[in-house]
Chain A
Amino acid sequence: MENFRFLFTAWMAVWAVFFVYEFSIARRMSRLKSEMAELKQRLHEPRTDR
């Protein structure tokens, strides 16, 4: 098990890439959803003004 640190680092890196990527998708998704809600509200507002 002399090279265990290389094995450990590699496995941790794999998990880190998975989690960081999934987290980034989830964050972008929630940001986009809130932006869309804001846009829909903006689109709704002028119509009620007329």
Chain B
Amino acid sequence: MKWRIACTMIAAALMFSAGYAALFVAPDEATMHAVMRIFYMHLPSWIAMFLALSLVFVANVAYLVTRKVKWDCLGVAGAEVGVACCTIGLITGPLWAKPVWGIWWTWDARLTSTFVLWLMYIAYLLLRGLVEEPGRKAVISAVFGIFAFLDVPLVYLSNRLWRTQHPQPVILGGPGSGLDPVMGKVLLLCVVAICWVMAMALVDRYRLELLRHEADGLRVEADSLQSEATNFNGIAASKEL
């Protein structure tokens, strides 16, 4: 419990300093001014999402190879955190786009592939609710998760491969790209803060899924005991007759 309190304190400190740095320390951008500061939450949420979904992919492959429950739990936890990060990106994106592009949304390659990615991981989570048998559920969702991951590199490369309304990458985008050094440091702090918070959520969600597996086992045991008791009572009643 102590480590949990320490982690929460670190998360609060990181989020506070990231927020302060993004709003008051980072220099003003020449054309977009204040609204550009959305960037300090928008990009880190995508980075956290890519990390979470990569973890889902690793967990899905590891589950199919080893059939260990912990990988299935990690896959679900990562997918949920990935969807949460993607949701943040899909909310902050249009809020940044409207004052800068004059539109909330456009169906360009980057935005469309991201929206499809969000839908696919929501489907991954919904799919788990449709299959009852735990082993089958884990295998189906692992296969679906690997298939869904194919969209991740497509999202990353979409604004490099096609002409999009979404701007070209500012980091690792080739010659002419790059950030002001102070902006870079503030961005790094925001990335660390968001990834820390999301890592904590991932650990919590992973623990929840492990507990759910334990509860499923208990439920099966309780049901079999109950049916055993019912059969026993039925036999005893027929003998009395």
B125 interfacial contact with A, CB 8 Å: no
Interface residues on chain A, number (Cβ under 8 Å): 29
> How many residues on B have C-beta within 8 angstroms of the other chain's C-beta atoms?
37
CA distance A2 to B98 in the complex (A): 13
Q: Are A3 and B34 in contact (CB under 8 A)?
A: yes
A22 to chain B, nearest CB (A): 6
Chain B facing A: main interface SS = helix
Q: Decide: A17 and B91 in contact? CB cutoff 8 A.
A: yes
CA–CA, A10 and B40, complex, Å: 11
Contact with A along B165-178 (1 / 0, CB 8 A): 00000000000000
- Chain A positions within 8 Å of B229 at CB level: 46, 49
Given contacts A10-B42, A40-B218, 18 further A-B contacts (CB under 8 A): A2-B34, A3-B33, A3-B35, A4-B35, A7-B34, A7-B35, A10-B38, A10-B95, A13-B88, A13-B92, A14-B45, A18-B201, A29-B207, A33-B211, A36-B214, A43-B218, A43-B225, A49-B229
> Which B residues touch A40, using CB under 8 A?
218
Residues of B within 8 Å of A36, CB to CB, are: 211, 214-215, 218
Across-interface contacts of B219 in A (CB, < 8 A): 39
Contact flags (1/0) for B31-65 with A, using CB distance below 8 Å? Answer: 01111011001100100000000000000000000
In chain B between 193 and 222, which residues have their CB closer than 8 angstroms to a CB of chain A? Answer: 197, 201, 204-205, 207-208, 211-212, 214-215, 218-219, 221-222
A20 to chain B, nearest CB (A): 9
CA–CA, A41 to B69, complex, Å? 25
Residue-by-residue, is A19-31 near B (CB-CB < 8 Å gives 1, otherwise 0)? 0011001101100
In the complex, A9 has a CB within 8 A of chain B: yes
Contact residues in B for A10 (Cβ distance below 8 Å): 38, 41-42, 91-92, 95-96
Residues of chain B lying within 8 A (CB to CB) of residue A29: 204, 207-208, 211
List A contacts of B221 (CB < 8 A).
Answer: 39, 43
Footprint of B on A, CB under 8 Å?
1-4, 6-7, 9-11, 13-14, 17-18, 21-22, 25-26, 28-29, 32-33, 35-36, 39-40, 42-43, 46, 49
Measured CA separation A22–B84 after assembly (Å): 10
The interface of chain B, by Cβ under 8 A from chain A, is 19, 32-35, 37-38, 41-42, 45, 80, 84, 87-88, 91-92, 95-96, 98-99, 197, 201, 204-205, 207-208, 211-212, 214-215, 218-219, 221-222, 225-226, 229
